[in-house]
Each structure stands twice: as structure tokens, then as C-alpha cells.
A and B are shown apart, each in its own frame.
Chain A
Amino acid sequence: MKHLLGLEGMSAAGLNRIFDAAEKFVGVGVGDVPKRDELKGKVVVNLFYEPSTRTRMSFGLAARRLGADVLDFSPGGSSTSKGETFIDTAKNIEAMGIDMVVVRHSSPGAPHVLAKHLMPHVRVVNAGDGAHEHPTQALLDIFTIRKKLGRVAGLTVGLVGDIAHSRVARSNIHALTTLGAKVIVCGPTTLVPQEVTQLGVEIADKLDDVLPRCDVLNLLRVQFERQRSGLFPSIREYRLLFGVDAERMKKAKADVLLLAPGPINRGVEISPDVADGRNSAILNQVTNGLAVRMAVLSELSKAA
């Protein structure tokens, strides 16, 4: 694996190699468990053109726990505000002698373009490109499923919400179907492109019908600007049709695993009691995210 640009086309063996590596990184650098030196002497750059809390901190911490030096870039107050292009910025940072770039950008394909333009020894990790892919988020979602339920194949996973604009949904669909899970996408018809069935998933628009069938529910965040652009009438109606609360949870399997990529809108796609309840693995996801990102960075640094 030279770059991690997306999960489309990644084999089950490739996915499992990352998960197996991640198992060994769980807890590394926490408490008395010593840090590692897989990335000792390496420089990792966080090139984030979009706001991020979790992903950025998680990558930074993962790299440091592997012994790397970490540079942080954000466009506000940088040369971007002086009109420098994305590629030029990256090439300038590259000239400082770096080894890996973790990039988040609003344009789908930005990491792919970057990988084409940077020197061959530089590794690129996609930390979210527009509505295209967010591979490490899906990896940590599925790693959490694996740890909690012991398997992925044969499970039914419901992805609920805005599928059309979700990079998390796309990466999850690619990897889950590769690993033999059944995927149901459920959301307002304006936010679920019909072509998604060609990726081997089922479309449903009534959450109550889907709930009893799911072993895992992944609740995607509602972006409020979608309402303003006329894709659904109101937040209130979204909550009524697709929000998961204690009442609705009664229709789900008792031990259903609840995931959310965050940041969550409490009281919209998920009610506070459910977000903090016994089925929720939201905080486990964040912890597992560190291990998964350490696995990705170390696998990439090993690649010739």
C-alpha cells in the first residue's frame, strides 16, 4: 500500500491486514504502555483544508505515538489566504523534507491529485475528500464492529441519513460489502442517490422497517445547510422520520451496535439518551480511531 486514497477496490486481505495491525496498537502510548518507533525520524504533515477536530487530533496523536514529527497546516492565516494554490502549498511543504501527508479537502480527488504531483517517496493519506471517501473513518467504524461483535461478514449494517453527500457512507459501503456484510442505506429520498444500489446495497426510506433487521446502525450527521438548499423541509421533520430515540430503539434488536462518525447533533439524528446509552459505541470509535490510524501510518511507512 503506497497511499491510502480510498477503500474502493481494496481487497478483504488488505482491509484485514490493517485491522490485524490495529489490534496491536490498541492502548499504545496510553498510561504505562510505551510509545513505538515505527515512524521515528519521519515527518508527517496534517494538511487540513476543512475544519476537523477528531480526525486531525487523532492523526497527530497516532503519528506522535509512533515517534514521528508532526507539522500542522490549516489554510486560515496561511499562504492560501494569499492565493497560493493547493498543489503549490503542498510542493512547498514537501520541499522541507517530509514523508507523509494527511490531507483533508473539500474537493473530491484532491488527495489523488496530490499523490500524482508529489515526489514518489511521499505517502498520501486521505482524511476526507469532499463527498468522495473518508477511508480511515470507515476503517475505524468497521474495526469497532469487529471488536464489539467479533465479525463483519454476515452482519446487516444500516447507514442512516445523508448518503448523497457523505464520504463516510461511500467508504463504509465499499469496505463492508467487500467484507461480506449486508448494507442497507436509509434516508430521505432526496439524500439517497438511486445509483447507490449499483454498489450492492439496499435502499430503504422507512427507518422503522429497517431497524429490526440491523445488527449495526451507523447514524450519519445531518448537515444543516442541506435543509437550506431545499433537500428536506425541516430539521423537525428529519428528526421525526429518521432521528433515533429511545422509543424508536424499541423496534431495533436489543443488542444493536450504534455508531456515529461525529460530530453528532444531539437531539437530531440521535437523542442524548441513546447517544450515551448502552448500545452506543461512539466513544469506542474515537479510541479505536487512534489504533487504526497508527496501523495505517505504519503500513504505509513499510511500503517500498
Chain B
Amino acid sequence: MIALLLRNGRVIDPSRDFDQVTDLWLADGKLAGTGAKPANISGDVKTLDCTGLIVSPGIIDMHVHLREPGREEDETIATGTEAAVAGGVTSVACMPNTEPALDTRMAVEFVVHQAERAGFCNVFPIGAVTKNRDGKELAELGGLAEGGAVAFTDDGAPVYSAEIMRRALEYCKMFNKAVLVHAEILELTQGGVMNEGFVSMQLGLRGMPGVAEDIMIYRDIVLAELTGGKVHILHVSTAGGVDLIRQGRKKAESLKAAGKPSFWISGEACPHHFILTDETLKTFDSNYKMSPPLRTEADRVAILEGLKDDTLTVLATDHAPHAPEKKERELDQAPNGILGLETFLPLCVTHLIEPGHLTWPRMLAKMTCNPAGVLGIDRGTLQPGRPADVTVIDPKAKWVIDKTTSKSKSCNTPFHGTPVVGRAVATIVGGAVKMTRMG
């Protein structure tokens, strides 16, 4: 028997409203309970002293681009998952916008196998909604689910046809899987480099108006209601989008309360959208270019509000590695996106916990049990018997983000040199310590 004792930490398990300074036991890759030593544990027990540390269910990042297959110059499943465990992330859900797209059972099984070979963290592939992500015909969603896909999306692009989106939501009900929405009306964003507003006007850069996101968020909320489907809005960046999701959730709750058929609507926020604004583009640094773009101060504050009132129940990174030769270019020629896995936890601690926007249990819920609920996976909890995925966090560690030490294959982060608070000090996946900074 391989047993591990995480001794005397603040054990927070938002899935069960548990928050106590106690011991957590792991045995044979499974969680074995808190408090006194469970009767079934015998033999040697390895002990990690967690005094002063937080012991959390393993962090889930449900929005990650691992780039493999097809764009191994940016990231591989091995490098991306090594970056994940360096950041305290025990499970990632990876996006299907690879080359070829993850639109067949074969493709998602390849990802699962590569992740097992790499051996760092759990990888849950997300399948494409449509064949080749081109928005025309549904991919074989049943086969994808069978092969391990935990949800579906054409992320990077919207499912443009409202008809296809409607049918995808209906069809997914057979597998109880969510459709994850990249909301963007492409005619309104064509050629856009950044948020449309005062700053884009000043810089002479083509803007992408916030309503391009709002319109499609609205479309997909009403389609969720029509179909009784499960919709999760990825990387919400606008005040309008937060408001629409808030109204949508109220509607879903009131239908449920009235005993009527309801639907699922949830939303996700990425750290860059509640930390940075479009003012940063004045540097012309392509590390501030992403889709959806960094928006205004009012949007940034609205996303914080959405996180505080639980309109946005999920935190995720949209980890989007790009090799330097592609990213370090003129702003309008650089691709969208930044790294996220290693900066996820510290940025959330620094910008959500430290200013008092969220408590530890509430923030960790958005990084553990809530994304597990969207994806329908048995992670994000410390419930005995579940896989022993645990993240140990030093809540007071002060350090400076350094892109040169990143495990990712790319280094496109705007947070290089930023002082932060909070850091994962041990990442335990299936009972095995995959990363430790403890002693």
C-alpha cells in the first residue's frame, strides 16, 4: 500500500463545504479521508507537513490549448501538462482546435494516450462540435464521448449556424455533455486586433466591439432554454455578457423552482480579463493580444462582480501558447492568446483573494468542483474514494513570475516580471507527487 499523509493543513473542499485545519489521507491513488488515520491504512506512510498551507482538491483548468497534434512548435501534451503541474493544476481539459481537429474518436484517444505517456496530469479532451470545426456538419459526438471527450466546442471560433448549435445542444442531451461557447459574431470582429473603443481609436487599430460577444451569448442562452441543453460560455469578457448570463441563470433557476423543464447556463472568467484592460495595448506588445480581447475598466469590474455574485462559476486560463517567431510580431499579424497554466493560481490569489473579492473556499470552488460539474468528471473534490488529486498551496508565498523558468514550450505571457502572492507547493495526481516545492 502506498499511503500519503498531508499533515495539519487547512483542508478546503468546496464540494462538501469543508474547511478545517486537519490531516488528509491518501492511499493507493485514492482519497482516504480526513482526521484520524483510517483503519485500512497500514505500513509506511509518507508525510508532508502542511502546517500553514492550504490543502485543496486538485485544481482543474478546463480551458487549455495543448496544440498537439499539429502545432508542436507551440506546445506538446508533455510540455503543457508539465507546465500544468508546475502551476498546481492536476487536470486540464484541452481544446479541439488542433491540426487535425479533435473531431473523431481516434483523435481524442490519441490525446488521452499522449497524456498517459507524458505522465504529468490528467487530460480530459474536449471534442469538436462540427467536423473539422468548420461549422457545417455535426462531428460524431457519440464516438467522441465514447473515446473520452468530456464536452464539445469549436473554440477558437463560434458554432456559427444557429441551426447547427441548436441541433448540437439537442444531440448532446443523449450524453449529458455541455457545449462550450466561443461567442463571437465574426462580421463585427473581422480584421479586429483589440477591443473597439477609445483606445483602439487612438491607436488606429481595428476594433472588435463587445456586442459581437453579447449577441452570441444571448443566442446561445435562448437556444439552451429552447432545447433544455447545457451551455457554458467560455472566457466571458464583457459587462453585457456577464449581465446576460446573470439573467439566464435566474431564468433557469426560476423554471427549476416552478418544477418546469430547465436548462444549464454557466460562464467562465480568465485572469487576464479581470486584471488587464485595453489600455495595455498602448505598448503595442502582442502579449496583450487575445480573443476575446482585453476590454475596458467597466468590463473588468463587471467580471469581478460576476465572480463575486456567482454569475461566473468557473475560473480557467485559456492557456494559448504560441512560439516566439509567430507571437513576437507586428500587433496585427500576431496570433491571439497567452500562457496561463503556471500563472493561474498566483494571479487569482493576488487579484481575487488578496483584495477580498472572494474567500478561499469560494475561489477554489471555481477552480475545482464547479468546472468538474460543467464537464461531468469525478474530480475537484476531496471526497473519500475519489482519485487522489490534490493541490497544496502556500497562500502567502511572495514571488515574481519569470517566463524564462516556464515549463511551457512558449513564453508568451504579459505577466513576466510581475510580483504575485500564492503558489502551489505540491501537485498530487492520482496519489503521486508530480511537483513539489516543499523541503
Beta-carbon contact of A132 and B205 below 8 Å:
yes
Beta-carbon contact of B330 and A113 below 8 Å:
yes
Beta-carbon contact of A108 and B205 below 8 Å:
yes
Whether, in the assembled complex, B258 has its beta carbon less than 8 Å from a beta carbon of chain A, the answer is no
Nearest opposing residue in chain B for A173, CB measure: B202
A56 to B182, CA, bound (A): 44
Beta-carbon contact of A108 and B332 below 8 Å:
yes
Beta-carbon contact of B202 and A170 below 8 Å:
yes
Beta-carbon contact of B204 and A196 below 8 Å:
no
Beta-carbon contact of A109 and B330 below 8 Å:
yes
Beta-carbon contact of A198 and B203 below 8 Å:
no
Question: Beta-carbon contacts of A102-144 to B below 8 Å, as 1s and 0s?
Answer: 0001111110110000000000000001111100000000000
Chain B residues whose CB sits within 8 angstroms of the CB of A198 once the complex forms: 198
Number of interface residues of B (CB under 8 A): 16
Give the dominant DSSP class at B's interface: helix
Nearest opposing residue in chain A for B330, CB measure: A107
Interface residues of A in 7-34 (CB under 8 A from B): 8
Beta-carbon contact of A108 and B198 below 8 Å:
no
Chain A residues whose CB sits within 8 angstroms of the CB of B333 once the complex forms: 107
Chain A residues whose CB sits within 8 angstroms of the CB of B113 once the complex forms: none
A193 to B329, CA, bound (A): 27
Chain A residues whose CB sits within 8 angstroms of the CB of B197 once the complex forms: 195
Chain A residues whose CB sits within 8 angstroms of the CB of B330 once the complex forms: 86, 105, 107, 109-110, 113
Nearest opposing residue in chain A for B281, CB measure: A109
Say how far A291's CB is from chain B's closest CB, in angstroms: 27
A86 to B334, CA, bound (A): 12
Nearest opposing residue in chain B for A5, CB measure: B284
Whether, in the assembled complex, A199 has its beta carbon less than 8 Å from a beta carbon of chain B, the answer is yes
> Contact partner of B202 among A107, A113, A130, A199, CB < 8 A?
A199
> Contact partner of A131 among B204, B283, B325, B328, CB < 8 A?
B204
A193 to B196, CA, bound (A): 10
Chain A residues whose CB sits within 8 angstroms of the CB of B331 once the complex forms: 107-109, 113
Whether, in the assembled complex, A85 has its beta carbon less than 8 Å from a beta carbon of chain B, the answer is yes
Beta-carbon contact of B198 and A195 below 8 Å:
yes
Beta-carbon contact of B284 and A108 below 8 Å:
yes
Known: A86-B329, A198-B198. A130 touches B205 (CB 8 A): yes
Number of interface residues of A (CB under 8 A): 26
Chain B residues whose CB sits within 8 angstroms of the CB of A165 once the complex forms: 204
Say how far A186's CB is from chain B's closest CB, in angstroms: 16
Beta-carbon contact of A133 and B204 below 8 Å:
yes
Most chain A CB atoms below 10 A, which of B204, B205, B325, B329 = B204
> Contact partner of A193 among B201, B283, B284, B328, CB < 8 A?
B201
Known: A113-B284, A195-B198, A198-B198. A107 touches B203 (CB 8 A): no
Chain A residues whose CB sits within 8 angstroms of the CB of B203 once the complex forms: 108-109, 132
Whether, in the assembled complex, A167 has its beta carbon less than 8 Å from a beta carbon of chain B, the answer is yes
Say how far A70's CB is from chain B's closest CB, in angstroms: 24
Most chain B CB atoms below 10 A, which of A8, A107, A129, A170 = A107
Question: Residues on B close to A: CB < 8 A?
Answer: 197-198, 201-205, 283-284, 325, 328-333
Closest 10 CB pairs of A and B: A109-B284, A131-B204, A132-B204, A107-B330, A195-B198, A193-B201, A195-B201, A108-B204, A112-B284, A107-B332
Q: List 17 A-B contacts (CB under 8 A).
A: A86-B329, A86-B330, A87-B328, A105-B330, A107-B332, A108-B203, A108-B205, A108-B331, A109-B203, A110-B330, A112-B284, A129-B204, A130-B205, A132-B203, A132-B205, A165-B204, A170-B202
